[in-house]
Structures are given as C-alpha cells and as structure tokens.
Chains A and B, each alone.
Chain A
Amino acid sequence: MTATGKLGILNPLAIIFENHLARLGMVIIGIFILAALFAPWLAPHDPIAQNLGQRLQPPSWTYPLGTDDLGRCVLSRMIHATRISLRIGLLVVGITAISGSIIGLFSGYTGGITDELIMRATDVFLAFPGIVLALVVAGVLGPGLTNTMLALALIGWTGYARLVRGCVLSTREKTFVEATQVLGAGHVYIMFRHILPEVLGPVLVMATLGMGWTILSSAALSFLGLGAQPPVPEWGAMLSSGRPYLRTAWHLSTFPGLAIMVVVLAFNFLGDGLNDALNHKKKPADGN
C-alpha cells in the first residue's frame, strides 16, 4: 500500500495522457495560460481605450470579435480578462486548498473535541447554499476583485478540510501507519511521510475542479456587479454590460460566456481525468 506514496503526482499524470478529454483539458488550460502571460502582445488593441466612433461593431478583420458599447475591442478585452480569472482562480484555490488541508489534517489527526469543533464549524459554512454566503460577504465588504477573492476563499476552505480529515481518519487506521507508530515514529513524521501523500491526490482533484468553480463563481459575482468594476476587463462583467444589446450586438453576450464555459470545462475534464486515474488505482480498496 505504500505504493500510493508515489501516486501523489506522477502516476495520475501518466494515466491522464491516455485520457483524451483530460489531455484536451490540459491543452485548453495551456492556451489560456499563454493568453494570460502574453496578453499585452497578443491583444490587437488596447483593452480600455474607447473609440465611440466604432461602437457596437460586429466582428470584422480589424476587430475579430467586434466592439462593445464604448467602442472597445472585445477580443482584446477577453484576452486581458484571462489574467484576472486565472489569477483569482489560482489565488483562491491556492489559499483554500492549503489552509483547508492544514485544518483538515489537524482536525483528523488530533481528533476529540478539537475535531468536533472544527467539523461543526464546517457544517455551519455548508448550511449556506452555493455562493449565497460569498454574495453576502462581497456585498458587505463592497464591490471589487479583492473582496470577491476574500468572499470565495472564506467559503472555499470547508470542502478541503472535510476531504482531508476523511482521508486522515481512514489512513490512520491502516496497518502500516500503526506499524510505524509502534516502531516509534513521531507525529510529524507520520503526518508528512504517510498521511500527506495519501491526501495529496484527492486534494489535487478537488483543487482542479475548484479552479473551474472559482472562475465560474467570480464571473457570476462580477456579472451581478460585485466583482470587477469598470473599466477592468472581466468576462462576467463583459456579459453583463452586453445585456442591453441582445438584439443589436449578439457578439457582446456570446464570446465572453463561451470563454468562461471553455475554461471551466477544461478544468472539469482535467479534474475528472485525475479522479479516474486515482480511483483506477484505488478501486479494489474502497468504493469512494
């Protein structure tokens, strides 16, 4: 069973390359990352410069995806928006995955009253459906990207904490951990040498799916007017500003939505692939 120690990163990667959808997901994510890194060079126009003479133009050679209500190039804005969405995704997922895992590790390993308290706290967070709590936090703190990230991070940690705690509890029961304990290994050693590798795979899956969820939710908050503020280019906000022009300028409400869907889909493909890869190895042990 210690073979799962290696499983952490390497084996799933090998299996993922055999999974077409996961591979497709990786390629799409790669393209979005490149777009974010090289946005200033890739974008044909300034994403913020207004050109009122060219308002609401349909797609053309000069403006491949048309222009918005202030005459700004939609493609350039979308390319720059990848930076915002990916940054929010990485930051929020990074913070929640690390803090949630540490809390879960601590909770599961300590057990007893501490564990009980932490788990009952997660129950409270999970009582609020979906992004309702994030909406309240973002609403109270006021609009803006930082507050959006804070709001999403506040509700995101619970999933990791519960997942990791569950893994810790089931791993602790295993014979090899007991054996190590009997041999005189310390808590820190057991945690890092045996429990952490076991937990890494499921957390990686959750984090990958979490990237998609975070990008989707932050776009939703921006769509409602709580996230990115004008003139910052952001997909959800772009969709929202295209709403009055459904009849006259279809491109405004089409392309930013497509971008959100494609990138979220890519993370879901990859996450599912990772999950299959992990379960593929674990199948005989348990059904989860």
Chain B
Amino acid sequence: MIRFIAMRLLLMAWVIVGATILICLIIRLAPGDASLLIAMARHGGIDQVSKAEIETIRRSEAIGGPFVVQYGKWLHHALQGDLGYSLVDGKPVLTEILRRFPATLQLAAASLLIALLIAIPVGLLSASHPNSLFDHLGLSVALIGVSMPNFWLGLLLISLFSVHLGWLPVFGTGGINHLILPALTVGTGAAALTTRLTRSSIIDTLGCNYIRTARAKGLPERVVIGKHALKNALIPIITMVGLQFAFLLEGAVIVETIFAWPGIGRLLVEAIFSRDYAMLQGCALFMAIVFSLVNLAVDMFSAWIDPRIRYERKRA
C-alpha cells in the first residue's frame, strides 16, 4: 500500500508540474506583443500607455526571453503562492480564484447529489430487470442525456421554469432557488453517464460466483442485489464519481456562464474574453490541480477498499 501511495503521489507531482509547463507554453502562443497587452489591460486603452512603461513590464515579466527563463520566473512566484496579478484590475489571481471557488464547489456538490439520486436507483432497477421495458427506457433516456448539450438544456430549463412558469430566477445568486436550475442542468447530464455505469457495473457483479452462492442459499433477491451486488458494484461507481468531477468542472464553465453563477468557470470565460492571460493561466491550472487531487483521492480510496486494485496497478 505504501509503495502504491508513493508511486501515485510521484505521478501526481509530475502531472502538476507538467500542467504548469503546458499552460505556460500555450500562453506563449498568444499573438501580439504581450507586454503591450498587459500595459493596455492595466490602463484601459492604447493611448494611456507609454513606451517606458511597456519596457518596464517587458523586463519585470521576463517577456521575450527564452521559455526556460520565463517559466522559471513564473514557477518561482507560483511556489510562493503568487500566481500573478489580473491584467485587468490588478488583483492577485489566487485570491480571486479562491474567492470564486466556493460557488463552483457548491454547484458541483448539488449537481453530484442530483446525479447520484437519479443514477443509483435507475441503474439498480435497470440492472435487476435487464432487457425489460424499464431497462430499455432508462438506457435510451440516459443516452439522450449524454448527447444533450448542457448549454441547450440550460436554455430550455430557463425558458420553462423562469420565463414561462416564473417559478425560479433566470440567473444570479441568492438562496437555494438560484441553485436549482444550474444544478439540474449539470446534474442530469452527469446522471446520464452514471446511470449507464451503475447498470453495467451491477450486471457484471451479478454474474459473479458469490452472487450465485447468495441466491443458492435462498436469500431474497432484494438482499442479493441491495447488499451483495451493490456493495461490490460500488467500487467502479466511486471511481466514476471521480471522473464525473471532470464533467462537473467542465459543465461549470458553460453552465456558470449561462446562469451568471459567480464560480471559477465563469471567471475562466471572463478571463478569455478580456484577454487576461494571468487569470486564464491561474484558473486552468487551479482546475487541473483540483481535478488531479480528486482523482488521487478516488484512487486511494478504491485501493483501500479493494486490495485487488493495488496489485493490478503495481503490475501495470
């Protein structure tokens, strides 16, 4: 187990370092003179910027130098928790991200709850009656859910519940009312994927010998499925929840924009359109790190509850 954890942590460290390198490389692709852009963003227009100022920025941000120098400079600051300053309003990037992150976390948690509340019962029922009408219906709806663009679903929900029925607010934050529509939008999409996995995972488990034993000793089907099958099927489901987190973060980017939800996804999109590269870099990295941490936690957890995984990973 210790070996497994050490290997996993090492990989995680590399992934984060790799992610910073990749993001810094991509930001370098930006067309135009970066120092001019920074100066313009800080002063709101090309008329306000002096040549000397551009030169100062060029030197302080190591723009135009070789990538290694630029990256080294960036990394040096980043290690001290300094992800730079917004090119738009000069606020520290990390502070702004941390201020916005709770909103995203809240949305993600609510969406995950909705996803699991739909996926586990539907998946269980489908798996215990394979090829029944319910099973086919559930699978078809799940496939439609997977194919449904979340930005479209969001618009439809707004159209129905806010514009026509007037039950819920169109966008913004406030009470739980504001959370319902965005969470439904992300959650139902996530539910679609999770339902499919729950179903196939339980069907796989039902084919195992210990289920045959449980049945043979006369346990009622309710106990066989509810206790023996579900518990074992839970491992892939937990892994899936980790992967779902990607879906939730990705969904957050679009759904937060539609619903004007003040989370990190909307921050990312705002940064793109105001060409705030420092903020963009910070948001993308932060999301990658959060996602990697969740995956790490999921891996550790599944390895802890299922020793078989440890051995498999060791071989691979």
A269 contacts which chain B residues (CB < 8 A)? 143
Which B residues lie within 8 Å of A65 (CB)? none
Tally inter-chain residue pairs, CB-CB below 8 A: 146
Interface size on A, residues (CB 8 A): 49
Q: Are A123 and B155 in contact (CB under 8 A)?
A: no
**Any A CB within 8 A of the CB of B291:** yes
| B301 is an interface residue with CB less than 8 A from chain A | no
A122-148 vs B, CB cutoff 8 Å, 1 = contact: the mask equals: 011101111111011111111000000
The answer to whether A135 and B151 have CB atoms under 8 Å apart is no
Answer yes or no: B149 CB below 8 A from chain A CBs: yes
Set of chain B residues within 8 Å of A224, measured between Cβ atoms: 254, 257, 269, 272
Inter-subunit contact A130/B18 (CB<8 Å): no
Q: Please tell me if B27 contacts chain A, counting CB pairs below 8 Å.
A: yes
What residues of chain A lie closer than 8 Å to B152, measured between beta carbons? Answer: 239, 253, 256-258, 260-261
CB of A219 within 8 A of CB of B155, answer no
- Tell yes or no: A197 within 8 A of B by CB: no
Mask for B44-80, Cβ within 8 A of A = 1, else 0?
A: 0000000000000000000000000000000000000
Q: Is A131 within 8 A of B250, CB to CB?
A: yes
A120-B14, A239-B155, A250-B159 known; A127-B291 Cβ under 8 A: yes
Residues of B near A186 (CB, < 8 A) are none
Chain A residues whose CB sits within 8 angstroms of the CB of B89 once the complex forms = none
Question: Are A141 and B254 in touch, CB under 8 angstroms?
Answer: no
Q: Any chain A CB within 8 A of the CB of B1?
A: no
**Among the interface residues A121, A129, A242, which one has the most CB atoms of the partner chain B within 10 A?**
A129
Q: Is B30 an interface residue (CB 8 A)?
A: yes
Name which residue of chain A comes closest to B258, CB basis.
A243
Q: Evaluate contact between B151 and A140: CB separation under 8 angstroms.
A: no
Bound-complex Cα distance A254 to B155 (A): 9
**In contact, A260 and B149 (Cβ under 8 angstroms):** yes
A-B pairs, 3 with minimum CB distance = A130-B250, A257-B152, A139-B272
22 A-B interface contacts by CB (under 8 A): A124-B14, A127-B19, A127-B288, A129-B247, A129-B250, A130-B251, A132-B288, A135-B269, A136-B281, A140-B30, A140-B280, A141-B29, A216-B149, A224-B254, A224-B269, A239-B152, A247-B164, A253-B156, A261-B149, A265-B147, A268-B146, A287-B204
